[in-house]
Each structure stands twice: as C-alpha cells, then as structure tokens.
C-alpha cells in the first residue's frame, strides 16, 4: 500500500477520534426529514437538484441508522422521464469514546458472514457526533489504487437538518451537495 494512502488512513481515523464535546444528543437527530439539495461539481456549478427524504433512528446499544432517498429532478420536476431515485441505508454502533461510531454489519442468520475487505473495494465507514453536527465518513480504495472519501455532515436547525456532502478523490473535491430539510410529521 502506498505510504501516502497509509498516512491518509491514519490521519482520517485519528480525526474521527479527536472530538469536541457533544452539544446535541444523538436522540435529537432521530426523526424523519424532507427537503431539497443542490449538487455542485468541482467548478462549483449547480449540476442537478434533488429531493431528499432522510430517516435517522436508534440502533442497538446506543447506535443509530440513517436511511435516505434521493430523487434527482429533471428540469426541476419529478414527473418527467429520466428522474432517478436512489435509496441507501447504513447502521452504526458506538465504539470506544462517546460520540464515535463504526458501521455495524447487520448479519442475517440465513447468509454466510463475509469479512470486510477494504483493499478489495469494501467501504470503511465511521461516524462522529460533535458540536458541528453528525458526521458520516466513507472511505474506499478504488480498483486503480486511488482513494475516495465521502463526508456527510448533518446539522440540526430549529425546524430540521442542514446537509453538507463532499466527495473527494485523491485529495480533489469532485462534488459538493448542500441541502436543507424540515422535520416531517
């Protein structure tokens, strides 16, 4: 493994452990949210608009799960051909220090458990809760040996969440997403 990659992994992991005091409790984030986000490219141009549904809830032992649905609009509408809908979910359990979480592999008794293989492209995910929000990190070693880091930050507002996302490949930010949601009933 190239030295630079090893140093990046160590720095990212240590960054996740160095946390300020927690302002809001994890339970404050639990709920359903709906909103809109703008996707920007590396040149900071808006390339698409998305509708978002986000659900954050408790998971065993003080952890949490996040489920989100993104609907990419066509010409600002969702009722036209070409609209894309993506659903994703990830679950975290507490690890070590307060406010630090690692991805929980939910195991089914009907499937064989597979070991995670980061060098084969399996993402390494962790999360932290601090004064600046609830942060989720996803690190992947790409097939060509480069790396990708995705950073999701969700910040509580008076009526919902603000969402910030960055996709970084080999140190270059290729995509940013800024979104605003409100708490749904």
DSSP-derived secondary structure letter, 39: E
Residue 43 pLDDT: 85
Return the domain boundaries, the chain.
3-183
pLDDT in tens, 111-162: 555 666 666 667 899 999 999 999 999 999 999 989 999 999 999 999 999 9
Give the integer Cα–Cα distance in Å for 134 and 142: 26
Tokens of 48: 């698409």
What one-character DSSP code corresponds to residue 123? P
pTM score, two decimals?
0.79
Are 147 and 139 in contact by the 8 Å Cβ rule? The answer is: yes
Select the CATH number that applies to the domain covering 3-183 from these four: 2.40.128.20, 3.90.550.10, 2.40.50.140, 3.40.30.10. 2.40.128.20
Model confidence pLDDT, tens digit, residues 19-74: 333 357 999 999 999 999 999 988 888 889 999 999 999 999 999 999 999 999 99
Per-residue pLDDT, averaged over 82-106, amounts to 91
Can you tell me the distance from the alpha carbon of 125 to that of 132, in angstroms, rounded to the nearest whole number?
Answer: 19
Helix locations, the chain, DSSP H: 3-17
The CB density around residue 64, as the number of other CB atoms within 10 Å, is 24
């Amino acid at each position: 493994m190239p030295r630079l990659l090893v140093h990046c992994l160590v720095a990212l992991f240590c960054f996740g452990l160095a946390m300020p005091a927690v302002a809001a409790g994890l339970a404050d984030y639990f709920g359903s949210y709906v909103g809109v986000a703008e996707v920007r490219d590396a040149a900071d141009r808006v390339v698409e608009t998305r509708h978002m549904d986000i659900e954050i809830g408790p998971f065993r032992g003080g952890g949490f799960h996040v489920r989100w649905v993104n609907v990419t609009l066509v010409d600002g509408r969702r009722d036209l051909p070409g609209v894309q809908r993506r659903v994703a979910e990830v679950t975290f359990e507490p690890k070590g220090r307060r406010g630090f979480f690692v991805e929980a592999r939910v195991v089914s008794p009907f499937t064989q458990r597979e070991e995670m293989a980061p060098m084969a492209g399996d993402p390494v995910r962790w999360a932290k809760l601090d004064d600046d929000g609830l942060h989720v990190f996803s690190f992947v070693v790409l097939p060509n040996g480069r790396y990708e880091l995705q950073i999701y930050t969700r910040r509580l507002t008076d009526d919902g969440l603000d969402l910030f996302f960055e996709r970084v490949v080999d140190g270059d930010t290729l995509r940013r997403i800024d979104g605003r949601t409100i708490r749904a009933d």
